Amino acid sequence: MPLISRSPDTGVWLLATPHSSYALRIDDSGAPRHIAWGPRLTAAEADALVVPDGEPHSSFEGRPGVGEELPVDDGTRYGPPSLQVRHADGARGFAWQPTGHRVLTEVPGRAELVLEFRDRLHPLHVALHYRVREDTDVIERWTVLHNAGPGPLELPRCDSAAWTLPLLAGYRLSHVTGQWSAESQLRRDLLPFGETVLTSRRGVTSHHANPWVMLDDGTAGEEHGRVWSTALAWSGSWRLTVQRSPDGRAGWTGGVGHDGTCVPLAAGERFTTPVLAGLFSDGGFGTASRVWHAYIRDHVLPHAAEPAPVLYNSWEATGFDVDESGQKALAERAARLGVELYVVDDGWFGARRSDRAGLGDWTPAPDRFPDGLGPLSRAVHRLGMRFGVWVEPEMVSPDSDLYREHPDWVLHVPGRDRTEMRHQLVLNFARPDVADWAHDWLTRLVADHGIDFLKWDMNRAFGEAGWPGQDHGDDLLWTRYVTNLYDVLDRLRADHPRLRIETCAGGGGRVDLGVLARTDQAWVSDNTDAVDRLMIQHGFGQIYPARVMSAWVTDVPNQLTGQSVPLRFRFHVAMAGLLGVGGDLTRWSPEELAEGADLVAAYKKVRHLVQQGRQYRLGEPLGDRTQAVQYLSEDADELLLLAYRRSPRHGTPQPPVRLRDLPTGARYRDTGTGTVHHATVLTEYGLHLGLPTGDWASTALHLVRVPDGA
């Protein structure tokens, strides 16, 4: 079956992915109408799902609130609009007039449907885009708006897409909430009737919510049941409205901006929304996550196939107290541990001695690095490691030369306070001169100091978000800031093809499919307590793959929580993602350094499984039972099992852990002990881990398939 086809009888467009179908058509009024999203359908089956437009059953109903591909604020529609328009003459609304369609198939393995419309009265053109691929069930959708008229118009809402679910007996919503140091807390609650709004009004993706949801009928589990999900590729303010309408239907609409913001569209201008991707899967939350992980690796990240290096970061060891000799001492120890990428965190530039000064003055501090960063960079390279630095290009300290020179470069509203958070203000990246300045110093910094890696941070949300002097500046900045940020990242990567970038915003405040298309990994949280991390990583991994999940082993008692857990446990938690080390290595004992070196070496042997394998969550974090995560190679020839356990209450014996998805009849050898296990025993009866009692026990088992007949 082709990826995209159109029924000659009904005009139904049918989109096919490996395990799902999506069908829509243009209805009698000219509006794009949803038909189906779920298990695979043939063309004839999709045709059979078309229900003729009926009359509303009362004069109060109007058109259905759920069920259009992009509900507009017009006519007799009363659900949450995906598109709201204020035309140049002040009139509102959008009446669908189809003007054409295209199917693009130039790129092998994928196809794109473009449905084109205009307003019946005003010169506003709207194109709905759908992209499907042969190798993923994720469908990408976005919208392009083109103001073909002579005057400016405004889009109070211009969502990327609206998605509709089939009628189910009930609906449950999964998503994450959080805050600084407590990101990605998974919530799973019944979806109430009405509208549930998930949003960021902070100008950045945020710690508090993340732009994805999963919906099921309330019965799906980790490995069974139908799940519909979505994720938005955007790093600024956003809004997802999930709706359960009084007639029992459910769906969502989502895109850029929060309530009260507006996208201005000047005469002749186009606005391309970010992608709001959707996924149907029939294998529970675990399968949904694995499909998202593979999609992000294969189609979002620029270099996912490349093994991510073991990293060292100096932040928790030194705070702002960085200098050349201290960093060299840490780098030598890091190299002996087996670290492959050494990163100097905050404090290397300008007058940065604390968070009170220096942001914006991006030259190495002469008292700390008398000959610049060159000597440290060369020393790190000589030790066989790559060299990275921390930067926060979007921010400025009021106590900085940059701010003294350009006080107008920050987001501000004339006459109002400029509220500082962490003693800093937000540079207005929407301004082309600010974006060019950032690109200019960054590209020179990278070139001049042999920098291989940037940790790109963003440590506060917007405030007094104004852009004086620019036409519609206060509206425009919410999107232009983000597109300029993307543009600077894109230019920097093009200038330095070997440069790798970590996205960070005070921990996990900016992780989304938009920024991941231009970065290589994400700092998930400033909370490095391994126990708290189990919960954070569990939520993070619902959508985002271990390939981007940066995790450090730091010292105990933990700086944030005061909790102490064994070094081995800290390593095993960090090994579930991209292993990094962030402790003060000058204080590690010879025994700790030796144990650390062994664990780094062990990680290198299995990182291909963590970074490229299929991930199975076995058990809940911090429950009474052992929690485990399994990473299985694509060919099922090899797996890594990481297991964690707190002391069992009342000394209760622990049941064995059942592994997932191993071929029946296969046998696996534990590379640590040599023990051979039967796949059927592992999956159907389970593996006794024999973890010692006491808080916090953990293990890492690497099992390799024994050739049949051996």
Which of these ranges, 406-414, 442-450, 460-468, 501-509, lies near ligand GLA under the rule CB under 6 A? Answer: 501-509
Q: Of 216, 457, 520, 532, which is the active-site residue?
A: 457
CA 442 – CA 463 distance, rounded (Å):
25
Q: What is the CA radius of gyration of the chain?
A: 26
* Nearest one of 108, 168, 155, 99 to 128, comparing CA atoms: 99
Q: With respect to ligand GLA, which residue has the nearer C-beta, 346 or 512?
A: 346
* Residue 283 token pair: 């294998």
* Residue 71 token pair: 């509900």
Q: Of 47, 512, 526, 532, which is the active-site residue?
A: 526
Single out the residue of 523, 540, 552, 631 in contact with ligand GLA (rule: CB under 6 A): 523
DSSP-assigned letter for residue 18: S
CA 706 – CA 145 distance, rounded (Å):
57
Single out the residue of 345, 452, 555, 638 in contact with ligand GLA (rule: CB under 6 A): 345
By CB under 6 A, the residues from 630 to 669 that bind ligand GLA are none
Which of these ranges, 295-303, 466-474, 503-511, 638-646, lies near ligand GLA under the rule CB under 6 A? Answer: 503-511
Q: With respect to ligand GLA, which residue has the nearer C-beta, 378 or 422?
A: 422
Q: With respect to ligand GLA, which residue has the nearer C-beta, 70 or 359?
A: 359
Single out the residue of 236, 264, 338, 507 in contact with ligand GLA (rule: CB under 6 A): 507
Contact between 387 and ligand GLA (CB under 6 A)?
A: no
Number of residues that bind ligand GLA (CB under 6 A): 11
CA 345 – CA 352 distance, rounded (Å):
12
Contact between 315 and ligand GLA (CB under 6 A)?
A: yes
- Which 3 state secondary structure label does DSSP give 159? coil
Contact between 526 and ligand GLA (CB under 6 A)?
A: yes
Angle at Cα 630 formed by Cα 624 and Cα 635, nearest 5°?
Answer: 160
By CB under 6 A, the residues from 432 to 461 that bind ligand GLA are 457, 459
Contact between 502 and ligand GLA (CB under 6 A)?
A: no
The helix/strand count (H/E) of the chain reads as 13, 37
DSSP-assigned letter for residue 347: -
Contact between 515 and ligand GLA (CB under 6 A)?
A: no
Min separation Cβ 542 and ligand GLA, Å? 21
Residue 202, classified by CB atoms within 10 Å of its CB into exposed (0-12), middle (13-18) or buried (19+), is: buried
By CB under 6 A, the residues from 178 to 237 that bind ligand GLA are none
CA 253 – CA 213 distance, rounded (Å):
11
Helical packing angle, 374-382 and 324-337, nearest 10°? 20
Q: Report the C-alpha dihedral over residues 88, 92, 98, 104, rounded to 10 degrees.
A: 70
Min separation Cβ 292 and ligand GLA, Å? 24
Three-class SS string for 646-671?
CCCHHHCCCCCECCCCCCCCCEEEEC
Q: With respect to ligand GLA, which residue has the nearer C-beta, 478 or 523?
A: 523
Residue closest to ligand GLA when measured from CB atoms? 346
Which of these ranges, 3-11, 468-476, 499-507, 659-667, lies near ligand GLA under the rule CB under 6 A? Answer: 499-507
Q: In 10 A of CB 351, how many CB atoms?
A: 16
Match 């139904």 to its residue by tokens: 12
* Residue 240 token pair: 């997802």
Contact between 552 and ligand GLA (CB under 6 A)?
A: no
* Residue 282 token pair: 């029939």
Which of these ranges, 159-167, 298-306, 500-508, 531-539, lies near ligand GLA under the rule CB under 6 A? Answer: 500-508
Single out the residue of 156, 283, 309, 506 in contact with ligand GLA (rule: CB under 6 A): 506
Contact between 136 and ligand GLA (CB under 6 A)?
A: no
Q: With respect to ligand GLA, which residue has the nearer C-beta, 132 or 504?
A: 504
CA 630 – CA 622 distance, rounded (Å):
17
Is 457 tagged catalytic? yes
* Residue 457 token pair: 């941070």
DSSP-assigned letter for residue 162: E
Q: With respect to ligand GLA, which residue has the nearer C-beta, 342 or 523?
A: 523
Which of these ranges, 140-148, 170-178, 205-213, 502-510, lies near ligand GLA under the rule CB under 6 A? Answer: 502-510
Q: With respect to ligand GLA, which residue has the nearer C-beta, 525 or 626?
A: 525
Q: With respect to ligand GLA, which residue has the nearer C-beta, 300 or 322?
A: 322
CA 175 – CA 189 distance, rounded (Å):
9
Contact between 504 and ligand GLA (CB under 6 A)?
A: yes
CA 542 – CA 532 distance, rounded (Å):
16
Catalytic residues: 457, 526
Q: Which residues bind ligand GLA (CB under 6 A)?
A: 315, 345-346, 390, 457, 459, 504, 506-507, 523, 526
